[in-house]
Amino acid sequence: MSDRGLLEQLNRITDTLSRSLANLVKNSSISKEGDEDEHGNYNTPESAARTSTSGLMLVNAQTAQLIRGIQDLMVMTRTIREKWLLTQIPDENDESQLELDYKKCSQLLEQWEKEVLG
Amino acid sequence: MVENQSKADHVVNEDVRKIPLAIDPNLIRPLPSFVPPTNDIGSEDQLDNNTEQTPAASQSLINNPYETYGNLPLDKLIPIILQSRGPGSKFADLSEEALLEEIAKEPTQTHSIANGDIDIDMNDSEATGSAGDQILIPQPIEGTLNEDEENDMTHEQFQQLRKNAVLSLDLALNESSLALEFVSLLLSSVRPSAATASMSPFLKKTVPSASLNAEKVPYEKPKESEIMEGNLVTKGWKLRSLEESRLLMKETHKALELTVEREQNYWSKLSHYISRKDVVFRMKDKETGERTLGLKYGYEDSGSRYKQERGIAILRHEPKNNTLEIVPSETQQASALGRLNQERFLRVRIFNKIEEEDDYILSGETSLDELLIPSNNLAEEQDIRRQIARLQFFIFEKELMFHMKKEAANLISYGVSIENENKITVEFATEKMEFEMISLTDDIVMNRQQDAPKTNDKKARLILVMLRMLLVTMFKKQLKRNLVLEQKGESAPKNSPRSQNHEVLLLRPILGKFRHANYLDLLQNVVKTYVLDVVEGATLKDSTIEKTKSSDTFGEQGFDKHIVKLDREIKLFESILRKPRTYLTLLLPSAGEIEFGLESSNYCNASTTVKYINDSGTTLFNTKFSNFKELEDFLHFIVSEYVKENGTQV
């Protein structure tokens, strides 16, 4: 995935997260909702049940969304890490440190010959 | 008529038991037909069905007492009601209170009456039963449908379900239109215009508007306690759902936190241990099925062409100890096949021949590599780099043995034999070398330092080191070839196995050195016996260096610096890898010189060129011997023919 794609994904996820959190907070109030309903004439037990049921479902849905958003974020971090690890390029300078002393090497090889045969 | 009446009585009561209504629809039968408010179903059919009383074929509406009641014109309905209440009752006497009382008394009453006439009761219960069935049908529809989605539904089943659904819909439609009629009629006394709009033509025709009246029931405001209760329930639900959500989030948080920690651990270890030089790639862990990272420890990218093992390991996180593990993908398969110990290393042993007996004595052996000795330090033992190094070590040793065996197969005539799949023996005149793959067991690790150092330990070690270096040189050659081809824009050709075999130079260069030294000894002995000891003043000198001028030409300057570097490193081993040759010059005082060239065409054999140049500089002989006996004869001949003669002449 490209950097831009990742950024867009990040924006999308944070958006969802904040939205669902806000919704959750909005829905979590108890007293206010009750007050409103008390003054309305339509506060039959059925309608109360209906609102509370839908509120319940909303809370559930938003919770699930919140969790999914976090999980998505984690998947994203993993993707980024993999990207980092897999696209590393060996450093040229690192390799040049192993400069051979050719003369010494050939001397050692000669010595080997003498030692083994001698 | 009396009998009929009494029957009707029972039936009505029976019906009432189920539905609080005072009329039996069956009674309507003899009466003139009526038109239902909805005209989708013919009244004739209904009557027919009614008489038959077949539950399966019955259209739902027939047995519904509500329907028949609603469809009756009032002038017919009222007599029926009166009839059902027994003789002498008047419609005007009926009041709400009296009816309520009756309903309250009903169950016991009907029961006793029902016992009186079984025949009718049976008949009727069947009819109402079917009606009850039909009402219940909508419920099973869903259940059976779901089940049948999996099991194939037969056509009949489907038809049955469809029919049931249609019936239920019809029933519902009818019920609702009846309710509408009732409400409209009720409304007609108060707001005639609004009521007539929703009345069916049939109702308008048969019933005068505003003929139904009812007392106004005052709207009962929900009691304070009811509101309270409702609110409480609502709040309770809300609280519960919030609590559930809280728990869910808490659990998820815990799980995710663990995952985060694990990931963090995994990646910090990775970044600590895995350098940019490692070959890492995505792969699937066959054991756990997880997506994970693989690491290549094999030497394929370094020029190795060993294909027996892929040299790939999985970087796995061990949740138990929270450590990073490296698991070779081959061991997974191998352990599945029951081959467990894949950890083998090459050991070189040198035996010296005991002169008198035909036996050998161990005079030197290579020790265990430091890497194979378990470290006391736990942290070091868990070090991934160490584990990788071990894996690399083992695969390297395996490849070394693999190539050596291939090479050894062609060297039987030179004292090299493959004893078993893990052991190669090389025999010389006075000693014997063993190259053996040893499984790394605990015993070996434990006993590693028990033996006293031996004389040839160093030699064995040197030979092992050289074998490894030669394999690396093979890698480098391959790498260089690939790079050169790449630079030329060609793809690497698939070398045939034969040419690959040919390139293997591990045992031969080392073996060649020993054999060549032996040949040289022999040659020198021969020369000494036949020339030096015979001709006075003759000297033997080594002219190898003059003859083999180094042909170090870096003619490949146009190449990449990597290739140049590889080239230089390969050239370093030239002295080891080139076929052994030695040139000797025998100077004969005032009789010219003899040049000897000891060469080998395949590292192991030996041929001697002899060139005799006389005093005046003309080459008299230039021959080649592969047999020292012939050489002896030839030398003898030259010495006696030319040198001695010359000497006597002088």
pLDDT in tens, B196-210: 888 888 888 888 877
Q: What's the pLDDT at B563?
A: 81
Alpha-carbon distance A65 to B348, whole Å?
Answer: 65
Q: What's the pLDDT at A94?
A: 54
Residues of B in contact with A62 (CB under 8 A): 245
Residue B51 has pLDDT above 70, yes or no: no
Contact (CB, 8 A) for B38 and B177: yes
Q: What's the pLDDT at B143?
A: 40
Alpha-carbon distance B21 to B70, whole Å?
Answer: 11
Q: Is residue A27 part of a domain?
A: yes
Other CB atoms within a 10 A radius of the CB of residue B138 amount to 15
- Please indicate whether residue B123 or residue B549 has the higher confidence score (pLDDT): B549
Residues of A in contact with B222 (CB under 8 A): 43-45
Residues 6+ apart with CB under 8 A from B168: B60, B134, B137, B138, B141
> If you search the block for the tokens 């090299």, which residue do you land on?
B416
Count, residues in chain B: 650
- Please indicate whether residue B172 or residue B587 has the higher confidence score (pLDDT): B172
Contact (CB, 8 A) for A105 and B576: no
Residues of B in contact with A112 (CB under 8 A): 462, 466, 576
B260 and chain A: CB distance < 8 Å anywhere?
A: yes
Segment B393-412, tens digit of pLDDT: 888 888 899 888 888 888 88
Q: What's the pLDDT at B117?
A: 44
Q: What's the pLDDT at B139?
A: 39
Q: State how far residue A8 is from chain B, nearest Cα, in angstroms.
A: 22
B403 token code pair: 């190539």
- Residue closest to B571 by CA, chosen among B547, B554, B546: B554
Q: Is residue A8 part of a domain?
A: yes
Q: What's the pLDDT at B161?
A: 93
Q: State how far residue A19 is from chain B, nearest Cα, in angstroms.
A: 16
Cβ contact (<8 Å) for B462 and A67? no
Alpha-carbon distance B610 to B607, whole Å?
Answer: 10
Q: State how far residue B335 is from chain A, nearest Cα, in angstroms.
A: 29
Of A24, A109, A113, the CB nearest to B572: A109
When pLDDT is cut at 50, 70 and 90, the band that residue B123 belongs to is very low
Residue B162 has pLDDT above 90, yes or no: yes
Alpha-carbon distance B15 to B12, whole Å?
Answer: 5
Q: State the best of A26, A30, A36 to mutate against chain B, taking most chain B CBs within 10 Å.
A: A30
- Residue closest to B172 by CA, chosen among B47, B66, B50: B66
Q: What's the pLDDT at B12?
A: 44
Alpha-carbon distance B54 to B129, whole Å?
Answer: 11
Dihedral of the CA atoms A31, A34, A35, A40 (nearest 10)? 170
Least confident of A25-34, B60-69, B145-154, B339-348: B60-69
Of B242, B271, B282, the CB nearest to A86: B282
Residues of B in contact with A40 (CB under 8 A): none
Q: Is residue A112 part of a domain?
A: no
Residue ranges making up the domain that contains A50: 3-90
The chain A residue lying nearest B459, using CA atoms, is A116
Q: State the best of B219, B231, B277 to mutate against chain A, taking most chain A CBs within 10 Å.
A: B231
Q: Rounded mean pLDDT of A74-97?
A: 75
Helix B118-136, helix B138-150: angle, nearest 10: 50
Residues of A in contact with B230 (CB under 8 A): 43-45, 48-49
Alpha-carbon distance B478 to B314, whole Å?
Answer: 27
Positions of E strands within B506-601: 539-542, 581-587, 593-599
Q: State how far residue A86 is from chain B, nearest Cα, in angstroms.
A: 6
Q: State the best of A32, A56, A65 to mutate against chain B, taking most chain B CBs within 10 Å.
A: A56
Cβ contact (<8 Å) for A116 and B462? yes
The chain A residue lying nearest B516, using CA atoms, is A117
Q: Cα angle vertex B372, ends B370, B377, to 5°?
A: 80
**Amino acid (one-letter) located at B204:** K
Contact (CB, 8 A) for B287 and B332: yes
Residue B167 has pLDDT above 90, yes or no: yes
Residue B601 half-sphere exposure toward CB, CA atoms < 13 A: 6
Cβ contact (<8 Å) for A30 and B239? yes
Alpha-carbon distance B418 to B436, whole Å?
Answer: 10
Mean pLDDT, rounded, of chain A: 76
Alpha-carbon distance A117 to B515, whole Å?
Answer: 10
Residues of A in contact with B364 (CB under 8 A): none
**Amino acid (one-letter) located at B126:** E
> If you search the block for the tokens 């005032």, which residue do you land on?
B590
Q: Is residue A70 part of a domain?
A: yes
Residue B122 has pLDDT above 80, yes or no: no
The chain A residue lying nearest B240, using CA atoms, is A56
Cβ contact (<8 Å) for A85 and B263? no
Q: Is residue A108 part of a domain?
A: no
Q: Is residue A23 part of a domain?
A: yes
Residues of A in contact with B462 (CB under 8 A): 112, 115-116
Residues of B in contact with A88 (CB under 8 A): 276
Q: Rounded mean pLDDT of B245-251?
A: 89
Boundaries of every domain in chain B: 2-200, 279-503, 511-643
Of B227, B276, B458, the CB nearest to A91: B276
Of A43, A53, A74, the CB nearest to B259: A74
Least confident of A14-28, A29-43, B124-138: B124-138
CB pairs under 8 A between A and B: 121
Cβ contact (<8 Å) for B252 and A70? yes
- Please indicate whether residue B602 or residue B144 has the higher confidence score (pLDDT): B602
In chain A, how many domains are there?
1
Q: Which of residues 498-557 of B touch A (CB under 8 A)?
A: 510, 513-514, 517
Rounded to 5 degrees, what are φ and ψ at B276? -70, -15
Q: Is residue A105 part of a domain?
A: no
Q: State the best of B219, B238, B521 to mutate against chain A, taking most chain A CBs within 10 Å.
A: B238
B384 and chain A: CB distance < 8 Å anywhere?
A: no
Based on its alpha-carbon atoms, the radius of gyration of chain A, rounded to whole angstroms, reads 33
- Please indicate whether residue B427 or residue B575 has the higher confidence score (pLDDT): B427
Q: State the best of B221, B234, B469 to mutate against chain A, taking most chain A CBs within 10 Å.
A: B234
Q: Is residue A114 part of a domain?
A: no
Contact (CB, 8 A) for B319 and B262: yes
Residue B618 has pLDDT above 60, yes or no: yes
DSSP B537: T
CA B211 remoteness from chain centre: 80
Residue B23 has pLDDT above 80, yes or no: no
Residues of A in contact with B458 (CB under 8 A): 115
